[in-house]
Amino acid sequence: EAGVVQSPRYKIIEKKQPVAFWCNPISGHNTLYWYLQNLGQGPELLIRYENEEAVDDSQLPKDRFSAERLKGVDSTLKIQPAELGDSAVYLCASSLGTGSGDTQYFGPGTRLTVL
């Protein structure tokens, strides 16, 4: 079974440019997560979807970040415009649901470098 797929794996852009990341969760997983991982730190949750509904986006900087999961499967995370401080790894994870013991499975991440 395929794991969580993310693309691109690496992205280098200049500041003020837009950028988008794509995630395809494990088949059948209803819950999808976007995490931000700064260098030398653990992941921090940006947004969580249950099917197509964003149920926790309190940590998403909404002035420049947006996300969507239109059909409850794939998801896109966008930054517009990007700032130097956005350089990080953006991880996508999915789980069956949010019930007890629902394990989150992570994709390989997209490493963003903003110049």
Partner 1 sequence: GEDVEQSLFLSVREGDSSVINCTYTDSSSTYLYWYKQEPGAGLQLLTYIFSNMDMKQDQRLTVLLNKKDKHLSLRIADTQTGDSAIYFCAERPNNAGNMLTFGGGTRLMVKP
* Interface positions with partner 1 (CB under 8 A): 4, 6, 31, 40-45, 48, 55-56, 91, 93, 95, 97-109, 111
What 3-state class would DSSP assign to 10? strand
Residue among 61 and 97 whose Cβ is closer to partner 1:
97
Q: Name which of 7, 5, 43 is nearest 26 in CA terms.
A: 5
Closest contact distance (angstroms) between CB of 40 and partner 1 is 7
Residue among 18 and 34 whose Cβ is closer to partner 1:
34
The C-alpha angle 6, 56, 64, rounded to 5 degrees, equals 65
